Structure 1
Amino acid sequence: MSTDYLLTSKQSGLSDGGDSPISPAGTQPRSNPLATKVTSVLSASYADSDIRDALNLLDIRGIQNSSETRRQIRLDVQKEVIESNGDIIREFGHVAEKDQIESKQQLLKAFDTHFIMSEDDIAILTSTAEPVNDKFFSVLARAKKIQNDCEILLGTENQRLGLEIMEQTSKSLNGAFQKLYRWIQREFKSLNLENPQISSSIRRALRVLAERPSLFQNCLDFFAEAREHILSDAFYTALTGTSVTGEEDTSIKPIELVAHDPLRYVGDMLAWTHSATVSEREALEVLFISDGDEIAKGIQAGRDSEPWNRISEDEDDSSSFDGLKALNELVDRDVAGVARVLRQRIGQVVQSHEETIMAYKIANLLNFYRVTFSKLLGDDSALLESLSTLEESALRQFRVLMRDHIAGLQADAQAIPPDLGPPDFLQDGLKQLTAIMRTYDTSLTSLDTREADFQPILAEAFDPFMKACDNIGKSLAGSRTAIFAINCLMAARNTLASFDFTSGRTSDMQDSIEEYAASVTNDQYTFFQTNSALQPLTQALAPLSDSEKDLLSIRSLPIFQPTALTQASQTLDDFLPSALMDAMENLKHLQSSKLAREITEEAAERFCEDFEKVEEKLIAADELMEEEGQGSKEGESPEPLRALFPRTGGEIRVLLS
């Protein structure tokens, strides 16, 4: 076959046995397609494996070397190539379909792995037989992520699938939170708050449960109720030494037996309550606050997911969860039972004792603890409200007892002491007030309102005594009224001056003392004027001016006639030697010798000034008379006024100094 093919090719490539045309020397051969083809065939290497394979393929097919075959072989080969390519394409199509199915299977597997929870996981979440451990919280976190990711499906064509998965997941989550809720309640029953190492699993469970605010609040209610009973029983044991079941606790000294007086009894109960409240708060801080604001975040997330549970539709950020406020409210609820017992027992103490000072001391002690608890629990506290009510009750009892005491004093005839000193009832009242002020001085009242807050106490325990003194002082005559008032005011002022929260009232009393002192000074001045016979002289000279006419008219006045003026001079001389002693005798009942001396000195100074004015007028009148009498006959000039009234201002000041 090969030989025939070569022979045929050679024969077909030559023309009638003639030689191939040769180009003349020096010229380029002409391009002959046949010659080119022959040259190509002859230049090929027939040892090439591809050519051998092609020739073998032609032998296998039994193709004869004929003109028809040669014309048809190209078409046949091309047809076979096209058919082969079609087969290949069809096979690759099948392969592509197998890849799509595998991708879908992988996608479905990934979808199931992410969105579908296994029966075991659902059992871990909802079955009470399964423990609440790390595995539970891990599965719970996955369920919450599935629920959140379902929102993506709701935004695609697969909304029905997303709704079905979300419904199933929500059902599992609700079961999980119910299981967690019941588990926390069981744990609360055996939880020991006195143990500083409180289980971290409880804290984590509370943080997670906070995402269901209603369940979280129910847990807090259950916990508060349980703790209220525990603390109430403990308080009863502290009071009596026996438990509510009647078992005696020998390790406790009962408050009812140890406290020997009402104040100690009330103080011990309040101290126990404060200690229990502090311990409760510290323990609950570890339980609810130690993890920062995780509970707050959980509750806010729960509110966002359960908007129907909000109190109002227009709830804003101001209603967000406040961990500190919630802690205070929980502690306050825990000690609510103790507060009720405290209110009952202290109320009995207040009503059963009729000692005025004791009632006030109890009120002040209640005020101290009220301020302390306000810093511990805030202003909105049931315990704080109980203490405020008890404080008001004790103050009301104090006012009633004080008014009864004052009414008793008014009923008894109160005689003024002979020495015009403070009466006994005032001294007793000031002694009582001192005890009250010492008690108030230890209170925790604000420095800004300290004095204002004490004014009601003064109105009850001080003002009635001063008013009684004022009433009985009106029965005295002359300066004795003012002296008695000064003595009472100075005793009260000295009592109040020891405390800084009575400075305003002390200043008011000092003003009153000065007013009464001015009145006594006027009386002393009148004493000097009257007993020295200077008053008629000053009264006669008062309307006269320094004019020549007025000065000349002095001699015509009756009081300045020789006999009358000589008598006035004699009276003055008789008065001056003992004037100061007599004046001081007038103030012998004034208990402040310093004030008596100051009053007398001021009155004497005014008397000296008046005397000097009289002296100046008399000298001026004598000088004017002497000038007018120089041209008259000798012996006709009247006797000088100064000769009849010779005392000088300097002499008066010396005698009264």
Structure 2
Amino acid sequence: MITSTEDAQNEDRIQRRVNKILETRLETDKDTLDALSNLSNFFVENTLQNRRNLRSEIERRTVGINESFLQAFREVKNTLDTVCEDLDAMAKSVQTMKCNLESSKALTHDLISQTNSLQTEREHLQVDQQIAEAFLARFQLTVPEHQILYGTTKDAQIVPEFFTVLNRVQSIHADCRVLMQCGYQTAALEIMEEMTLHQEGAFERLYRWTQNHCRNLENNEIGSLVVEAMSRLQDRPVLFKYVVDEYAIVRRAVLVRLFIEALTEGGANGSLKPIELHAHDPKRYIGDMFAWLHQAIPNEKENLSLLLKKCDKNDLSEQTQTALAYIADGVCHPLKVRVETILTSEKDTIVLFAISNLLRFYQQIIKQVVKGGTLEQTLIDLQKSSEEIYLNSLSNQVRSILQRPASASLGIEPPQRDLIPPMSVGRLLNMLKEILSVATMVDGRQTDITKIVSCVIDPLLQSVQESASHLPTIDMAVYLLNCLYHMQSSLAVYEYMDERVERLQAQSDAQIDTLISEQASSLVANLNLGPIYTILQNNQTKIEANLLKIFMNKMDAFLEMPEMLLLPQVQLLMSSAHRNTVRKRAFNVIVAIYKQIYDRVHDPANGFENPDSVFSKTPDQVGKILAV
């Protein structure tokens, strides 16, 4: 039973294989095709014998292949054995090196520790070095900076970088104070001392260079370096003053030289003629000299301001004025000699007065530029001297005009019969007008006009009064009135003459009063009013009819032609106002006396019969006729 089952199973197994073979499609089985392709190479002919030997041939070839593989594997094994041997040798070497390293490590442990310590110290030292280098760079000058500060040679010029280095020195000096506050007093003090020495050396060199440069400033070439140097030297007042003094000395000499050249040679290339070519014209000569100074001195002030442009002006005003005054003082001597020569040689009073005004004008102008110094005092002295000279000249001219031809005593010619002012009065007043016409156009004219008028009018009045003293009262009054009127008319047109005109008017009023008194006395006498006026003065009530009749007859004739009884001298008065005043006030006296007589006669208490038959006119009618 079991056998039949196994046979059945075998058959099934065979049947499956057969089916599998039958079902196999050889054209799609690549492996089978490759195997069949290889089998085709085993034999050339497909014989029975070859087919029977196929298995053995395959096995033989399999054995050959295995042998080839074995041979190749043996070579690989030999090679691997060699590699293993090399690895073993290498492992031994590594072990040896490890042992050597462990031995070396044990031996060099102290060296490594020391090396690490030195490395750490080196890093600290590098940091310290950087700090030290930064400290030195901040608080010390470099070699190039040192060379710039002190110069490579003795005569080395100052360059713009010099001031940069000087600023750095001053900055280091200031920073040392902060360094001291941080606890580094010793280092800070040493650096401060060193920087102080650098500053002193730098300022000494800067002072020498600036002073030498100022000595060569004849062409007014003030560079920016010099201006900067002066601003730095201001911190050293003594050095600064020496440099300013040196500059002032040089510019003083230059100004004097240029002034002399302008006087004697003129402008450059003949552009201006020498000033002394006009020495024959005193006003132009002196005016040109002062005009040149008026232009040159402000230029010097401007140049000095440019030199000190960057300095603190609050501390320099007095020093600048002193330097400028010293520069300008150089021209005092040549200027004073020439002006005094003109003043002593000129005789024309008007020219002298014009020169005095020029001096006063330029004194005020130059005083606004230069205060103090010899120049200001020289101009003051020259102006005073010129004023004295022209006043003396005017006094001499007045005396010469008032001088009598036949006598050495002071006085004008005697009055003429027409009692008009003599020619000398007209000449003096015309001369006064000429001088005053110049005086009214200048500054300070009030003082000048007052002095000039006093110099002319006072001696003229004295001479006129002396000349009139020998005349009768009426003639003297008329003569003096005419002279005073001439003076008043000449002075009234000028300013500042109010007081003088009032004084002349007071004198005229006194003479008018005298003339009125004489004219009134003459009218009283001609109208036969003397006895009647005496009766009125004595308060007597009775007036003789005969006296009244004579008075009225003369009064009627007087009223018909009032001018007939005027004094002949009154007609000689030059001023119509004076004539009218004398006439009117004298007639007022007559009208007042007439009114008293009229009132006395018409008073019933006095017992005059028919008073209207005595007086043909009332006092008002008389006043209208006489126009009083």
TM-score category of the 2 structures, normalised to the smaller one: 0.7 to 0.9
Name 2:597's counterpart in structure 1.
Answer: 614
The 8 Å contact of residues 412 and 463 in structure 2, kept in 1 or not, is answered as no
> What are the Cα deviations for residues 406-427 of structure 1, in whole angstroms up to 9, with x where unaligned?
4443525522331322333332
TM-score, normalized by length of structure 1?
0.70
> d(CA) in 2 for partners of 1:493 and 1:100?
110
Name 2:173's counterpart in structure 1.
Answer: 147
Which of 529, 532, 540 is matched with 1:534 structurally? 529
Tell me the matched-pair count.
Answer: 506
Pair 1:540–1:95, CA change in 2 (3 A) = farther
TM-score, normalized by length of structure 2?
0.73
1:588 aligns with 2:571: yes
Name 1:67's counterpart in structure 2.
Answer: none
Name 1:440's counterpart in structure 2.
Answer: 439
> d(CA) in 2 for partners of 1:503 and 1:413?
27
> d(CA) in 1 for partners of 2:399 and 2:461?
14
> What are the Cα deviations for residues 244-280 of structure 1, in whole angstroms up to 9, with x where unaligned?
xxxx964431121234322221111111111212332
Identity, in percent, stands at: 26
Task: For residue 350 of structure 1, report the CA deviation from its aligned partner.
Answer: 1.0
Task: For residue 392 of structure 1, report the CA deviation from its aligned partner.
Answer: 0.9
Name 2:82's counterpart in structure 1.
Answer: none
> d(CA) in 2 for partners of 1:462 and 1:371?
30
Name 1:631's counterpart in structure 2.
Answer: none
1:385 aligns with 2:377: yes
> d(CA) in 1 for partners of 2:252 and 2:333?
11
Pair 1:589–1:131, CA change in 2 (3 A) = same
Q: Which stretch of the first structure deviates more once superposed, 335-344 or 642-651? A: 642-651
Name 2:104's counterpart in structure 1.
Answer: none
Alignment of 1:243-642 (within 5 A): 250-289=270-309, 294-296=310-312, 321-323=315-317, 325-378=318-371, 380-408=372-400, 409-410=402-403, 411=409, 413-418=411-416, 419-445=418-444, 450-452=445-447, 454-544=449-539, 554-555=541-542, 560-583=543-566, 585-621=568-604, 625=607, 640=610
The 8 Å contact of residues 352 and 386 in structure 2, kept in 1 or not, is answered as yes
The 8 Å contact of residues 125 and 173 in structure 1, kept in 2 or not, is answered as no
Task: For residue 222 of structure 1, report the CA deviation from its aligned partner.
Answer: 1.2
> d(CA) in 2 for partners of 1:219 and 1:193?
17
> What are the Cα deviations for residues 364-398 of structure 1, in whole angstroms up to 9, with x where unaligned?
110111111122324x2432221111111111212
Name 2:41's counterpart in structure 1.
Answer: none
> d(CA) in 1 for partners of 2:207 and 2:456?
58
> d(CA) in 1 for partners of 2:360 and 2:430?
23
1:199 aligns with 2:223: yes
The 8 Å contact of residues 415 and 479 in structure 2, kept in 1 or not, is answered as no
> d(CA) in 2 for partners of 1:606 and 1:96?
138
> d(CA) in 2 for partners of 1:124 and 1:385?
48
Which of 616, 623, 626 is matched with 1:653 structurally? 623
> d(CA) in 1 for partners of 2:128 and 2:517?
119
The 8 Å contact of residues 580 and 656 in structure 1, kept in 2 or not, is answered as no
> d(CA) in 2 for partners of 1:573 and 1:208?
106
> d(CA) in 2 for partners of 1:99 and 1:493?
112
The 8 Å contact of residues 148 and 162 in structure 2, kept in 1 or not, is answered as yes
> d(CA) in 2 for partners of 1:452 and 1:276?
31
What letter is aligned with 1:443?
Answer: V
The 8 Å contact of residues 193 and 280 in structure 1, kept in 2 or not, is answered as no
The 8 Å contact of residues 359 and 398 in structure 1, kept in 2 or not, is answered as yes
The 8 Å contact of residues 534 and 572 in structure 1, kept in 2 or not, is answered as no
What letter is aligned with 1:287?
Answer: L
The 8 Å contact of residues 237 and 249 in structure 1, kept in 2 or not, is answered as no
Name 2:212's counterpart in structure 1.
Answer: 186
> d(CA) in 1 for partners of 2:180 and 2:518?
104
Q: Which stretch of the first structure deviates more once superposed, 367-376 or 572-581? A: 572-581
1:111 aligns with 2:135: yes
Name 1:300's counterpart in structure 2.
Answer: none
> d(CA) in 2 for partners of 1:436 and 1:273?
27
Task: For residue 156 of structure 1, report the CA deviation from its aligned partner.
Answer: 6.3
Alignment of 1:60-139 (within 5 A): 104-127=128-151, 128-139=154-165
Q: Which has the larger radius of gyration?
A: 2
> d(CA) in 2 for partners of 1:130 and 1:382?
39
> d(CA) in 1 for partners of 2:276 and 2:502?
46
> What are the Cα deviations for residues 526-584 of structure 1, in whole angstroms up to 9, with x where unaligned?
3322222234323322353xxxxxxxx622xxxx2233333333333444433324326
